[in-house]
Each structure stands twice: as structure tokens, then as C-alpha cells.
Chain A
Amino acid sequence: MLCQRILIVAAHGPMRAIAQGDDGDLVLLWDSTLLYLTRDSLLCLDDVLTRAKHEESVSTDQFQWHPAPDDAALVWMGRTCFYLPSEDKPIFCALVHEAAEQLRSLALRELRSQSPFSPAFCQLTVAEADEVALN
């Protein structure tokens, strides 16, 4: 990822943020660590974290969420893992969710500016197309 510009799509304090480069890829800054994710990966991570609210452990090809002692959690992203103490879990989940919502919103705004007959519009799901039509 070598970018001229980055857009901060979510932040919690100075050391926890998610930013998107002009190539579309994302950087997750979490304290002393930077993690590089594609847009699809971040959306997938958000899905995993959402599922983790109702399921004890969640595993996908890319991500895993497992409980740890003292109400902590381990979130594996590829071969990198964050240990999230109890107090950090909601912050991490909210950060990723906010970024995912921003990305979805940005995608919709881009789609709205396109012709309804463009190929991108035709690839919308029914729910997304409804939302575009309503707006």
C-alpha cells in the first residue's frame, strides 16, 4: 500500500483508527500495530464481529473470534492476532463496524452518481437496488 492520500473512515482516539488509501485498501491502526486489509476483508471482519455478539466462537477462512479468560477475546486476522481485553472488545467492534458502515455508505453514494443502466448498478442486490431507488 503506497498512497498519496488516505481517508480516515473511523477513529477512536489518536492510536486507534481505520483509514482508506486512494487504492481502496485499508489500514487498521490499533495501538502499536498496523494491519493491512482489503475493503472486502474489512466488511467480512465486520460480519464476523457481528456474529460474535450471538455466537461464542466464529471462524471463517480469513478471520476467527474466540473467547479468552476474564471476558477477553482473541481475534485472528489472517495469521495475525489481537488480544482484546474486556474493555477493548466493544471499542474494536465499534471501530470496525463504523468503518464498514462508512465503506457501504461511500459505495452507495458512488453508485447513486452512476447511471442506473451502468454495469455496476446491475450488479446490485435487490436490497441495495431498492435503497438506491428510494433515495
Chain B
Amino acid sequence: MYSHLTILAHSTHDGADRQSEHGALHMHWDIATVRLRPNDLLMFVRFLSRWGVSGEPNADEEWCTFSRTEQGTIQLWLGQIGMSVSQAEFTTLIDLVEHAAALLVAGESHSAPPQPKIRDCPALTIDTSAIVLN
């Protein structure tokens, strides 16, 4: 388990990306938390950036898949884990992981960015009470 998790991005849609001191990323969404290695998160972001806003009904790349249903929801698959999200939530999720990936790439996450720096992020609402210490 982890003694420290750093929030990289957080939204009001009950979603958050956190990084443990071991480097694994925890993407929390709805009732699930998916653990990703940093490189996997970057690949996921590339997939979402390429296909998420393209309007394509389906996309399939490596272990990432999404499909739009007739009801307007989006089924997103990361390997064997699927999530059903609305279009608005999908947009939020893309913002969330893009922000987390930007922090990773900038290397700020390795030194555990101070909370005020995260709070300055204009696109996302940060709730510092959501910090979880396991």
C-alpha cells in the first residue's frame, strides 16, 4: 500500500488522478480506481487526444477502445476494464488525464508538487480534502 498519494488532477465529476510514491498512477472514476504506469497514462492520453474529440463513433488502439452508443453514452475500455460515461463526463475525463499527463511530462510530479501549484490549474477544481492517505 501507499503512505502518500499526490493529486495530479481532480474534477467535480468524482474523478481524480493521483500518483503514489512508487510512481503508479491511480485514475479514480465513479466507483473504480484504475492503476496505470506513467507510460500507460501517456499512451491513454495520446489515444484520447487523437480520437476523443474527433467525433469518430469507434476507435481501437493497443489496449484502449471506445465506442459511442445509440443512447449518446461512450463506452471506454482500458484493457479489460470498461467505463460508461456521458459526453460531458468524457470531456471532463480527457481534461483530467491531459492535465495529469502534462504534470508528469513536466516532471513536477516526481517532486510532489505543492498543493497551491495544483490549485492554480484553471480548468479543474481542486478539493484538497480529497487527498487520501492509505
Number of interface residues of B (CB under 8 A): 19
Inter-chain contact A77/B35, CB cutoff 8 Å: no
Given B33, B81, B132, which contacts A81 in the complex, CB threshold below 8 Å?
B81
- How many Cβ-Cβ contacts under 8 Å join chain A to chain B? 57
Separation in Å of the B75 CB from the closest CB of chain A?
8
Inter-chain contact A33/B33, CB cutoff 8 Å: yes
Q: Main SS of the interface on chain A?
A: strand
Q: Main SS of the interface on chain B?
A: strand
Within 8 A of B (CB), among A46-91: 74, 76-85
Inter-chain contact A34/B32, CB cutoff 8 Å: yes
Q: Which residue of B lies closest to A81 (CB)?
A: B82
Number of interface residues of A (CB under 8 A): 19
| A36 contacts partner chain B, Cβ-Cβ < 8 Å | yes
Q: Decide: A80 near B83, CB < 8 A? Known: A32-B35, A35-B31.
A: yes
A interface list, Cβ under 8 A from B = 2, 31-37, 74, 76-85
